[in-house]
Amino acid sequence: MIDIKFLRENPETVKENIRKKFQDHKLTLVDEVIALDAQARKTQQEADSLRADRNKLSKQIGALMGQGKKEEAEEIKKQVNAQAKTLEELAEKEKELGEKVNKIMMTIPNIIDPSVPIGRNDEDNVEIQKYGEPVVPDFEIPYHTEIMEKLNGLDLDSARKVAGNGFYYLMGDIARLHSAVISYARDFMIDRGFLYCVPPFMIRSNVVTGVMSFDEMDAMMYKIEGEDLYLIGTSEHSMIGKFIDTIIPETELPKTLTSYSPCFRKEKGAHGLEERGVYRIHQFEKQEMIVVCKPEESPMWFDRLWQNTVDLFQSLDIPVRTLECCSGDLADLKVKSIDVEAWSPRQKKYFEVGSCSNLGDAQARRLKIRVNAESGKYFAHTLNNTVVAPPRMLIAFLENNLQADGAVRIPKALQTYMGGKTEIK
């Protein structure tokens, strides 16, 4: 969320940013919120002035009563009581205007980084770099569900009966591989100095609106009926929420954490063939990383975070590439984002397996995550990135490690987590 003071002083900058994100329907909101903010500040000034006058009159009442001038004191009391009603009305008006301002400010997109390419949607995202050599074997690679089913590792039919479309049973060595990847990713991040954490898998509505935009919330979150609780779509939600309404000593920054959680997403809309199976699902598990840091350090941490994912995939012999997300593909709270995509030998193209985002102080401003420095208090910057998210990641793993005889090779880095197995047959 943008600082209201910044918007007040730089309305054209905010409007230009809205245009860059191709959200022209929000342009009128800038002038609307400025007008409402002016009314709110004027109302607050009137209320403050009235409170100061009341305090003055209250002192006079005390002095008059001390002098035995009860009649004069009673007259001033009537004046104070009349002001109390006016104050109550002003306080209600101030609250109403403040809520309107906040509601609009929550929908105005964050100022994107100057380096972000301008584009309407993900088709305009820009490739940055490729890592590893993409290989297409001389034998046919089946669809990922076929690979899993031949290894007795997947049951979609039973899952549909139990929970509906978008769910799955993983079994045997495929289920073990799933857990091995998560465990390996956990230890990989711990070795890089991140604190391991298992967070709550449900969060309250004030945390939800603190970490994401309303559009994302509607498209992603499952609400628990009759409770002020939502199932998390990613552990980033809980992990950033961990610092809600806190003042962190600057000497304790940066906070670097890696977290495991199941994730639950609505995943609305129809999807093509390549997004069936276990590619786009309602339930999955994920290893995440988050950073809370000083504003001047967030660009450095942004580069470190996406590089961690690239390094992990390379350690498993999976070719990847990085893509810079364009302005129109950025969620409203994001300043800058990079997607990591893995190579699919079957499709002969890359597909998304993780996303790294710098949110500036947007989440911190909403959740009141402040830093206490010698020079005063300021809002922290927050960042997040996917370490690994199976079972989607398993698609890339299986395709890149499938052998001509149908066996799946286990890279050396994972063999310890698979009980010493070198392949799955």
pLDDT of amino acid 263: 94
Taking residues 10-21, report their average pLDDT: 97
Q: Which domain-ending residue is among 76, 105, 134?
A: 105
Taking residues 203-222, report their average pLDDT: 87
Q: Which of 160-164, 198-202, 255-259, 277-281 has the lowest mean pLDDT?
A: 277-281
Q: Which of 73-82, 280-289, 407-416 has the lowest mean pLDDT?
A: 73-82
Which of the four pLDDT bands, split at 50, 70 and 90, describes residue 77?
A: low
pLDDT at 256 over 70: yes
Co-location of 144 and 269 in the same domain: yes
Q: What is the pLDDT of residues 45-64, one digit of tens each?
A: 888 887 777 767 666 666 66
pLDDT at 395 over 60: yes
Q: Which domain-ending residue is among 80, 105, 130?
A: 105
Q: What is the pLDDT of residues 90-128, one digit of tens each?
A: 888 988 998 999 999 999 999 999 999 999 999 999 999
- Return the percentage of the chain with pLDDT > 70, whole number: 92
Burial 197-217 (b: 16+ CB within 10 A, else e): bebbebbeeebbebbbbeeeb
CATH number of the domain encompassing residue 210: 3.30.930.10
Co-location of 100 and 226 in the same domain: no
In a domain, 111, yes or no: no
Q: Name the residue among 173, 167, 380 with its Cα closest to residue 276.
A: 167
Co-location of 350 and 412 in the same domain: yes
Co-location of 67 and 160 in the same domain: no
pLDDT of amino acid 307: 97
pLDDT at 31 over 50: yes
In a domain, 129, yes or no: yes
More confident residue, 18 or 277: 18
Co-location of 374 and 270 in the same domain: yes
Q: Which domain-ending residue is among 105, 140, 168?
A: 105
In a domain, 153, yes or no: yes
CATH number of the domain encompassing residue 10: 1.10.287.40
pLDDT of amino acid 270: 44
Counted domains in the chain: 2
Taking residues 199-225, report their average pLDDT: 89
In a domain, 209, yes or no: yes
Average pLDDT, the chain: 91
More confident residue, 310 or 216: 310
Taking residues 72-80, report their average pLDDT: 67
Co-location of 316 and 393 in the same domain: yes
Co-location of 97 and 150 in the same domain: no
The overall pTM is greater than 0.85: yes
Co-location of 151 and 224 in the same domain: yes
pLDDT of amino acid 267: 77
In a domain, 311, yes or no: yes
Co-location of 288 and 415 in the same domain: yes
Taking residues 332-346, report their average pLDDT: 96
pLDDT of amino acid 57: 66
Q: What is the pLDDT of residues 33-42, one digit of tens each?
A: 999 999 999 9
pLDDT of amino acid 53: 72
In a domain, 176, yes or no: yes
- Return the percentage of the chain with pLDDT > 90, whole number: 80
Taking residues 139-167, report their average pLDDT: 94
Co-location of 377 and 286 in the same domain: yes
Co-location of 177 and 270 in the same domain: yes
Q: What is the pLDDT of residues 182-196, one digit of tens each?
A: 999 999 999 999 999
pLDDT at 178 over 70: yes
Q: What is the pLDDT of residues 257-300, one digit of tens each?
A: 999 999 999 876 544 545 578 888 999 999 999 999 999 999 99
In a domain, 112, yes or no: no
Range of the domain at 281: 122-424
In a domain, 187, yes or no: yes
Co-location of 134 and 97 in the same domain: no
Q: What is the pLDDT of residues 350-393, one digit of tens each?
A: 999 999 999 999 999 999 999 999 999 999 999 999 999 998 89
